[in-house]
Structure 1
Amino acid sequence: MVIIDLAHGVFSLRNCLFFFKLMGALLDTPRTEKFNESGVGNNLRYGLSSMQGWRVSMEDAHCAITQLPGNLKDWSFFAVFDGHAGALVSELCASELLKCIVDTEEFKRIDPDLAPSIPEIQQGIREGFLALDERLRNLPEIASGKDRSGSTAVCVLITPNHIFFANCGDSRAMLIRDGKVSFATTDHKPVHPTEKERIQKAGGSVIIQRVNGSLAVSRSIGDFSYKTDRDLPPTQQLISPEPEITVIDREKASDQMIVLACDGIWDVLSNDNLCELLLERVQRLDDLSKVCDEAIDYCLYKGSSDNMSMVLVAFDPAPKVDPSLKAEDEKLEEVLERLTNSTFPYPHTFTHFRLFYSFLRLSCARL
């Protein structure tokens, strides 16, 4: 079974990337250097990893805030943004979205001594998304048409008693509870009946599963060339900046992890696949950013050609590191280091072997 999977991974990696290399859209060799970050706060831990991969530039961005400002110190916020046609919008989303949300009237009315109104929080998140989109529209480089970038956005707002998921586009977040996927956001694709209806009412069409044959998502921040009808409100344009918001009651005894990732991850892994992988690896690695690193390497070897970013948030009930499994992994790493130092004199050969090793190890873990 593993041999078949490995063969499929190798062949899909070669075949799917060949055309894009010829077109100049991808690099000859993937950029596998990673940005890592980790932290603790509000009785949770997080780790994140991002990698450029095969793409000619890095357009992903992220945000991780364990403690919100002001009266919301026991609230946390995490987000992933997948940019396209440039990195400007995704980078501004990472730095400005939370500010836009907490600056809404709904959030200013929150009294830390009283139970917050769930509908008001949902409305505040929605208004924050719309406010950011409008603010970006007026930036000189965007208003002039010089920059035409856009970005998906998926975020989680964690309060003492609730988890708010907000999604706009095809990046995805999921909650792992009691060892299985309890919830996952829905990707906003043009072929979805509700999305397709809005696109057609706005005068557009869905061709080869894309808006007007071009954009592969039906909701995003930015992408103002798809938001030009002045007779329509923002939420009824070809591309909508409105997030889909879901609120879930926290179950503090059984909520284990939340993962947020761009479509470079989900293109090659199902929700259940990633859930199994993460539950296994957190028993061997105490650094959550390294768990994300391994998942990204695994996806790269399986054939993902996109930028990849992942944020992993762990609550107290998440599986703890098993000392025997950790020691087993560390011993295996030592053997691998000795092998690679003596066998692979060229960096690109070493990188490919490490990807193969990651793929093999994580594939075996799922058997």
Structure 2
Amino acid sequence: MVAAAAVAVDVMAVKQNDDVTHQDKISVSESAVELKVFPSIRSGSYADIGPRRYMEDEHIVIDDVSAYLGSPSKITAFYGVFDGHGGPEAASYVRNNVRRIFFENTQVSQVDDVESSLRKAFLSADLALADDSCISTASGTTALTALLLGRRLVVANAGDCRAVVCRKGEAINMSEDHRPTNPSERKRVLELGAFVYDGYLNGVLSVTRALGDWDMKLPCGSTSPLIAEPEINQIVLTEEDEFLIIGCDGLFDVMSSQQAVNFVRRGLRRHDDPEQCAKDLIREALRLGTYDNLTVIVVCFTSMDHLRDTTSQHKLKCFSISTQALHSFKSLLKR
């Protein structure tokens, strides 16, 4: 990583390689979103050091936030991937303090304005890294979190981890990679006096948003090219949405979003095990020659039984024949 009420929901899909690009807008009442909860959520995760000498990735999987907190919560589930660089300290700090950062200090689980609360959580984590003398100012981490409120999926991202929803086999990107090669990010950092050299911010960092990295940020209160401000996207999931993949850049450096979705979908149809899918996805990334640490979380929304039923019905429709056509065919055979 180192040089190394009514809710209007915008769904942004970022085109990368063969991935889809489109925008949908869905309006849905808050109460409707929270009442239509999924009967169950199944997830699995896996991490591997890859070809690196040190493991700097961290992640967290919380399928039942109420049980995790020991009290009722509006949030059904919470997931996070933290891809560290410049040492593991920053990523480990955020992972070890998820409860305080996201649920206690900012009370994400109790407020209605989830987006505002998530932004506050990211920025407070960034400041906490600056204040902790045990953490090197050269240590930083990207951060991507995904939470579910019933059928409402909210993704917050700062960095180049990625969240992808599979919708009837189609990859829908729920996050944008914050890299100096991204046109909007490049424009922002150049306007603030930074430069991009060989794809790296100021010739040093391969991302334009991250927590920590205080040796590259301007003093607190100043506008810095490297920021911790997350971009947030949310959608209301339907029965067409099958699963979510969250992965660090070590995965998506060698696979497109659509390729990852295709791979996981095939795996789920074989064994219906999200953890096995996460393991297999990492093994495939290693086979393809990734050079980074690897972390993957797979969250299933729809049971494979439902998908198989849908597929079977589709096949029956495809091969059905009308009574008139059948009689005509029989008449031809009799000739």
Q: State how far apart, in whole Å, the 1-side matches of 2:91 and 2:265 are.
A: 29
Aligned to 2:243: 257
Aligned to 1:167: 157
Decide whether aligned partners of structure 1 residues 298 and 257 sit closer, same or farther in structure 2, where only a CA change above 3 A counts.
Answer: same
Decide whether aligned partners of structure 1 residues 197 and 74 sit closer, same or farther in structure 2, where only a CA change above 3 A counts.
Answer: closer
Q: State how far apart, in whole Å, the 1-side matches of 2:119 and 2:99 are.
A: 11
Q: State how far apart, in whole Å, the 1-side matches of 2:306 and 2:151 are.
A: 23
Q: State how far apart, in whole Å, the 2-side matches of 1:131 and 1:220 are.
A: 13
Is 1:214 paired with 2:204?
yes
Q: How high is the TM-score relative to the length of structure 2?
A: 0.74
Opposite residue 79 of structure 2, the aligned amino acid is: F
Q: Is the 8 A contact 2:49 2:294 kept in 1?
A: yes
Opposite residue 95 of structure 2, the aligned amino acid is: A
Q: CA deviation at 1:229?
A: 3.7
Aligned to 2:116: 123
Q: How high is the TM-score relative to the length of structure 1?
A: 0.68
Identical counterparts, % of pairs: 28
Look up the SS of the partner of 1:141 in the other structure.
Answer: coil
Decide whether aligned partners of structure 1 residues 122 and 237 sit closer, same or farther in structure 2, where only a CA change above 3 A counts.
Answer: same
Decide whether aligned partners of structure 1 residues 301 and 320 sit closer, same or farther in structure 2, where only a CA change above 3 A counts.
Answer: farther
Q: State how far apart, in whole Å, the 2-side matches of 1:126 and 1:75 are.
A: 19
Aligned to 1:55: 52
Opposite residue 167 of structure 1, the aligned amino acid is: N
Q: 4+ residue stretches of structure 1 with deviation over 3 A?
A: 104-110, 317-322
Opposite residue 191 of structure 1, the aligned amino acid is: T
Give a deviation string over 1:136-179, Cα, whole Å, max 9, x none: 1100123xxx4521111111111113100111100100111122
Opposite residue 248 of structure 1, the aligned amino acid is: I
Look up the SS of the partner of 1:224 in the other structure.
Answer: coil
Opposite residue 43 of structure 2, the aligned amino acid is: Y
Q: CA deviation at 1:99?
A: 2.9
Q: State how far apart, in whole Å, the 2-side matches of 1:167 and 1:77 are.
A: 14
Aligned to 2:229: 242
Please list, as runs of the form range in 1=range in 2, the aligned pairs for 1:62-101 lying within 5 A after superposition.
62-68=59-65, 69=69, 70-72=71-73, 75-101=76-102
Opposite residue 250 of structure 1, the aligned amino acid is: L
Q: CA deviation at 1:105?
A: 5.3
Aligned to 2:132: 139
Q: Is the 8 A contact 2:75 2:147 kept in 1?
A: no
Q: State how far apart, in whole Å, the 2-side matches of 1:213 and 1:105 are.
A: 35
| 1:295 counterpart (278, 281, 284) | 281
Q: State how far apart, in whole Å, the 1-side matches of 2:183 and 2:173 are.
A: 21
Q: State how far apart, in whole Å, the 1-side matches of 2:172 and 2:221 are.
A: 40
Q: State how far apart, in whole Å, the 1-side matches of 2:118 and 2:75 are.
A: 17
Q: CA deviation at 1:293?
A: 1.2
The worse-fitting range, judged by mean Cα deviation, of 209-218 and 191-200 is 191-200
Q: Is the 8 A contact 1:137 1:224 kept in 2?
A: yes
**What is the alpha-carbon root mean square deviation over aligned residues?**
2.2
Decide whether aligned partners of structure 1 residues 206 and 180 sit closer, same or farther in structure 2, where only a CA change above 3 A counts.
Answer: same
Aligned to 1:198: 188
Aligned to 2:141: 151
Q: Is the 8 A contact 2:83 2:248 kept in 1?
A: yes
Normalized per residue, which structure has more helix? 1
Unpaired stretches in structure 1, ≥5 consecutive residues:
1-24, 26-40, 111-116, 323-367
Q: State how far apart, in whole Å, the 2-side matches of 1:162 and 1:103 are.
A: 21
Decide whether aligned partners of structure 1 residues 318 and 89 sit closer, same or farther in structure 2, where only a CA change above 3 A counts.
Answer: farther
Q: Is the 8 A contact 2:106 2:121 kept in 1?
A: no
Look up the SS of the partner of 1:283 in the other structure.
Answer: helix
Q: State how far apart, in whole Å, the 2-side matches of 1:165 and 1:154 are.
A: 7
Bigger radius of gyration = 2
Q: State how far apart, in whole Å, the 2-side matches of 1:295 and 1:196 are.
A: 30
